[in-house]
Structure 1
Amino acid sequence: MDNLPVDIATAERIMLGPDETVVLASCADTNGDLFAVEVRMQPGGGPPVMHRHEPSEIYFVKEGVFTIYVGEGADVQRIQAGPGDVVPLRGGTPHTVRNESTELAVALVVHTPGQPMERFCRAVAAMTSDGPPDMQAVLEVASRSGIEMLGPIPAS
C-alpha cells in the first residue's frame, strides 16, 4: 500500500449532515475488506433511527460520549461509551449511534466488509452538498447499500 501512513490532518473528509467522517482506510485501500474512519459527531448528531446492516462494526471512543442503542423492541439496550471504551457490533444487529451530550464525540470506527458502508456514506454526502437531502432518496440509497431502516429509537 503506497498510501501509508495516513496523515489524519490531510485525510479525506466526508460530511454526513453536521457529522464528519475522516477516511483512514477506504475499500480501495483494503480490497473492500474494511472501511476505517474517524467519526467526529456533533452534539445531537448521528443516525436518528434504528437500523441494521450486514457489515460488522467496532467503535473505539477517543473523546466525548456516544450513546449506542442495540437490540429490538422492548430489548433495546442504551449503552454510554466514553474515552477508551470499545463497542463491537456484529453484522445484522439492530442499532443506532447518537451523541446525546453537549460536547463533540470522536471515535475510530471500522466496518467490515467495508463496501456497503462506504457506498452509503459517499452517496448520502453527495446528496447533502447543497443542503438537507430528500429522505426518500436517502432511504433508497440505504436499501441499495443493504441497510434496513427499522424506525425510531424506542422510548425507555
Structure 2
Amino acid sequence: MDMLPVETPVVLNSGERLAMGTDEFVVLADCARTGGALFAGLVKMPPGGGPPVMHRHDPGEVYHVLEGEFAFYVGPPGGDIRRTVVSAGEVMSLAGGTPHTIRNESDAGAVAFVVHAPGAPMEGFTRAAAALAEDGDTTMAAVLDIAAEHGIELLGPVVE
C-alpha cells in the first residue's frame, strides 16, 4: 500500500478575537494560512445575539454547536422560512447562496465552531464589520456598504 507523503502540519490557531456588537468571532484558520480556501473559528453569541437580518452569500458554511443552541432561519425572503434549533453536539450546514440568518434565542450563551468555504468573502466581511463596531460606525449604510463590498446580500428581517 502506497502512503501519501506526510507534510509538516501548520498550526492555524491564532486566537484573534473579532467583536461585532455583542457577538464574537475567534479566528482559528484564516485565508492567509489556508490559501483562501477556508475561514474558520468559534462564533460566540450571548442571548439575543446574531445578525439582525436574513442574508445570502456564495461561501458555504458548516456550524458545529459546542455550547448552548442556535436558531437558524433558512428560506427565501417572503417565502417559507424554516426555523431549525441546533443544540450542542449537532451540526448545521448551509450551501452557498442559501438565504439564512442565525440567532441565539436562548437564555444562555452559545458557541459554535464554524467553517466558511471559500473563506475570503466571509473573512473580509467579518474583519470589516469588527472594524466598524470598534470605530462606533454601526449605521445601516456602513453595514450595507461593507456587505456589498464582500458579496453579501442583505435580504431584510425574518418575517415572523
Range with greater deviation from structure 2 (63-72 or 126-135): 126-135
| Contact 2:44–2:111 (CA under 8 A) maintained in structure 1 | yes
| One-letter amino acid matched to 1:47 | P
Query: What are structure 2's unaligned runs of at least 5 residues?
Result: 1-7
1:1-156 superposed matches below 5 A: 4=11, 6=13, 11-72=15-76, 73-131=78-136, 133-155=138-160
Find the aligned partners of 1:5 and 1:34 in 2 and give their Cα distance.
11
How many residue pairs get aligned? The number is 152
SS at match of 1:54: coil
Given the two structures, how large is their TM-score scaled by the length of structure 2? Answer: 0.90
Decide whether the 8 Å contact of 1:51 with 1:94 is kept in 2: yes
Contact 2:56-2:98 at 8 Å conserved across structures:
yes
Residues in 2 aligned to 1:40 and 1:95: alpha-carbon distance in whole angstroms: 18
Runs of 4+, deviation exceeding 2 Å: none
In the TM superposition, residue 122 of structure 1 has moved relative to its aligned partner by 0.5
**Residue type at the aligned position of 1:101:** S
Structure 1 unmatched ranges of 5 or more: none
1:79 CA displacement: 0.3
The answer (yes or no) to whether the contact 1:58–1:89 under 8 Å persists in 2 is: yes
* Residues 1:3 and 1:14: Cα distance change in structure 2 (over 3 Å): farther
SS in 2 for 1:32: coil
* Matched residue SS, 1:74: coil
Deviation at 1:130, TM superposition (A): 3.5
Q: TM-score, normalised by structure 1?
A: 0.93
Instruction: Give the letter aligned to residue 105 of structure 1.
Output: A
**Percent identical across equivalent pairs?**
55
Structure 1 counterpart SS, 2:130: helix
**Greater C-alpha Rg:** 2
SS at match of 1:128: helix
